[in-house]
Amino acid sequence: MKYPYTQQFRQNLVEWFHREQRNLPWRHTKDPYKIWVSEVMLQQTRVDTVIPYYQRFIDKYPTLESLAGADEEELLKMWEGLGYYSRARNLQAGVREVVEKYGGTVPNNRHDLQKLKGVGPYTAGAILSIAYNLPEHAVDGNVMRVLSRVLHITEDISLPRTRKIFEKAVDELIHPDYPGDFNQALMDLGAMICTPVSPKCLLCPVREYCLGFMEGDADQLPIKTKKTKSKNEYYDVYIAVNDGKILFERRPSEGLLANMWQFPMMPKKQPSENTWEPFELKYNVTITKVLEENFVEQKHVFSHLTWNMSCHLIEISENGPFPDSVQFVTLKEMEALPLPVPMAKIMNILNRYIFHSPE
Ligand code: SF4
């Protein structure tokens, strides 16, 4: 069925956006670089969390060139706490490509933009519509939810091919004079009114043109098959002290939390498995004293897996040689290194209850 309310829908939506839009720092600029940074930060992360990170990041790296030339460790430190660190690395790689290949001007077409590292169809569409005012779709899960209700689309949104249906829908619906505002209005509508649970239809500016509302099943949409269960992984985490310094390790340069720093972690097949000896062998150390066995059980949930960590505070004697990725660092030195969230949480507990550092 052809949607009969295209004109009214786009008009009402954009007018509502002009009245009610959220005041967000990246909305005060049309600089494609800054829009790009904001969109990358917003992937998988809540707006409230992103705002202070965005401001600090733009203060530190106000231009493409400044980010292109940034030291990776410093960049990861700026990103610390936001998670999904490959986003930061990809952003920097993409920015470097723009500097080298396009003379520092972010491309204004989808073809070139999507070739940049870390730039997918959504980010490309957001940059093109918001910064360059081009009628390009920017479809993410939020937009799919809203449009599945407005257009009564019942395809399963967890299937990759379904995104195309929504991209085509936006191509037809998008406001030709305000494409960036139209895309941002869909995002705001999804965040403020057409929420995942209990959409606030009575407050909705497009209620009269919402097929889901007319059918009475808007809250059953979108159709989404259940995600596979996240995998549980178990680790012993060793806070291993020697002469006032702590054994610290850099993660591999590929994969989850690449190049971030952590306390040594030993994987366990079962929660009850003991890894003390394998730990000594792997790191070439001897445990001389167990200060606190299992001082905290820490859980960290990633999108696809959960780390269950049993943390132990021990003293070691250093035998060496140590793997290249390993160093002994002071607490102060540790603070300057990029730590992933699960390690920062352990660090906080150590500071508060064990090392008794001032807050
Ligand atoms: Fe969403 Fe309800 Fe508005 Fe439809 S009427 S777009 S379901 S909030």
- For a mutational test of ligand 1's pocket, the pick from 154, 201, 217, i.e. the residue with the most ligand atoms closer than 8 A to its C-beta, is 201
Q: Among 81-95, 188-202, 204-218, 312-326, which stretch is predicted with the lowest mean pLDDT?
A: 312-326
The pLDDT > 70 percentage for the chain reads: 97
- Give distance in angstroms: CA of 215 to centre of ligand 1: 11
206 lines ligand 1 (CB under 6 A): yes
pLDDT in tens, 240-294: 999 989 999 999 988 888 889 999 999 999 888 889 999 999 998 999 999 888 8
Residues 121 and 149 in one domain: yes
Task: Say yes or no: 175 and 26 in one domain.
Answer: yes
**226 within a domain of the structure (yes/no):** no
With respect to residue 281, please indicate whether it lies within any of the assigned structural domains: yes
Give tens-digit pLDDT for 179-212: 999 999 999 999 999 999 999 999 999 999 999 9
Cα-to-centroid distance, 217 and ligand 1 (Å): 10
Q: Does ligand 1 come within 6 angstroms of the Cβ of 213?
A: yes
Q: How many domains does the chain have?
A: 2
Q: Which residues contact 157 (CB under 8 A, 6 or more apart)?
A: 141, 144, 145, 148, 163, 166, 222, 223, 224
Question: Cβ(70) to ligand 1 under 6 A?
Answer: no
pLDDT class for 354, splitting at 50, 70, 90? Answer: low
pTM of the model: 0.76
CB of residue 210 inside a 6 A radius of ligand 1: yes
Mean pLDDT score of the chain: 92
In a domain, 1, yes or no: no
Q: Among 173, 189, 220, give the residue marking a domain's end.
A: 220
Please say if the pLDDT value at position 358 is more than 60.
no
Which of 12, 149, 151, 220 has most ligand 1 atoms within 8 Å of CB, for mutation?
A: 149
Among protein residues, the one with the nearest Cα to ligand 1's atom 2 is: 201
CA 219 to ligand 1 center in whole angstroms: 9
Please, which pLDDT band fits residue 1 given cuts at 50, 70 and 90? low
Closest Cα to atom 4 of ligand 1: 210
Centroid of ligand 1 to alpha carbon of 167 (angstroms): 19
| Domain presence at residue 225 | no
Range name among 30-39, 66-75, 337-346 with the lowest pLDDT average: 337-346
pLDDT at residue number 188:
96
- Structural domain of 242: 231-356
Q: Is the CB of 143 under 6 A from ligand 1?
A: no
Average pLDDT over residues 99-104: 97
Are 110 and 124 within 8 A, CB to CB? yes
| Co-location of 212 and 259 in the same domain | no
Residues 127 and 167 reside in one and the same domain = yes
User: For position 227, what pLDDT does the model report?
Assistant: 66
Same domain, 257 and 184: no
Number of H helices, E strands in the chain: 15, 7
What is the per-residue pLDDT across 284-313, written as a single tens digit (0 to 9) for each?
899 999 988 888 888 898 878 999 999 999
Q: Which residues are catalytic?
A: 39
Residue-level pLDDT at 356: 61
Q: Tell how far the Cα of 178 is from the centroid of ligand 1, in angstroms.
A: 21
Of the three residues 150, 185, 220, the one that is the final residue of a domain is 220
Query: Do 81 and 199 fall into the same domain?
Result: yes
Atom of ligand 1 nearest to the CA of 193: 8
Question: Does 163 fall in a domain?
Answer: yes
Judge whether 75 lies within some domain.
Answer: yes
Residue range 64-82: mean pLDDT, rounded: 93
What is the tens place of the pLDDT at every residue in 135-190? 999 999 999 999 999 999 999 999 989 999 999 999 999 999 999 999 999 999 99
- Please check the confidence at residue 352 and state whether its pLDDT lies above 80: no
Is residue 193 in contact with ligand 1, taking CB distance under 6 Å? yes
Q: Tell me, yes or no, whether 140 lies in a domain.
A: yes
Domain shared by 39 and 133, yes or no: yes
Both 192 and 315 in a single domain? no
Q: Give which of 131, 133, 139 is closest to 177, Cα–Cα.
A: 133
Instruction: Please determine, for residue 317, whether its predicted confidence score (pLDDT) is greater than 60.
Output: yes
Measured CA to CA, the distance from residue 197 to residue 119 in angstroms comes to: 29
CATH number of the domain where residue 209 is located: 1.10.340.30
CATH code of 330's domain: 3.90.79.10
Dihedral pair phi/psi, residue 155, rounded to 5°: -70, 155
In the chain, what percentage of residues exceed pLDDT 90?
72
248 and 204 in a common domain: no
